[in-house]
Amino acid sequence: MKPVASGGTDTNSCQVCGGLWQLEYTRPETLTPYLSADGKLQGRNLTGFCEVHQQGLSRAVKRARELGLVPK
């Protein structure tokens, strides 16, 4: 495990950093676990992602929405 440079109080439980998860907008099943029942993207406190991958998630969901792969 690599140390996080931020030095904040964040616990780094990011699954993408940990190699447990890949974010792919072409595979909505990798995104939907992070959407609430009404299709909203969950916050970092719920996803457990680091800032970088939370942004990546947000982008992937946006793109998947444009393609109609996840509900709007």
Question: Within 10 A of 64 (CB to CB), how many other CB atoms are there?
Answer: 22
Cβ atoms of residues 29 and 21 within 8 Å: no
Quick note: the x/- pattern for Zn ion over 1-20, rule CB under 5 A, is -------------x-xx---
Q: Which member of 41, 53, 61, 65 binds Zn ion (CB under 5 A)?
A: 53
Structure-block tokens of residue 44: 């970092």
Point out which span in 1-9, 22-30, 42-50, 57-65 binds Zn ion (CB under 5 A).
42-50
Which positions touch Zn ion (CB under 5 A)?
Answer: 14, 16-17, 50, 53
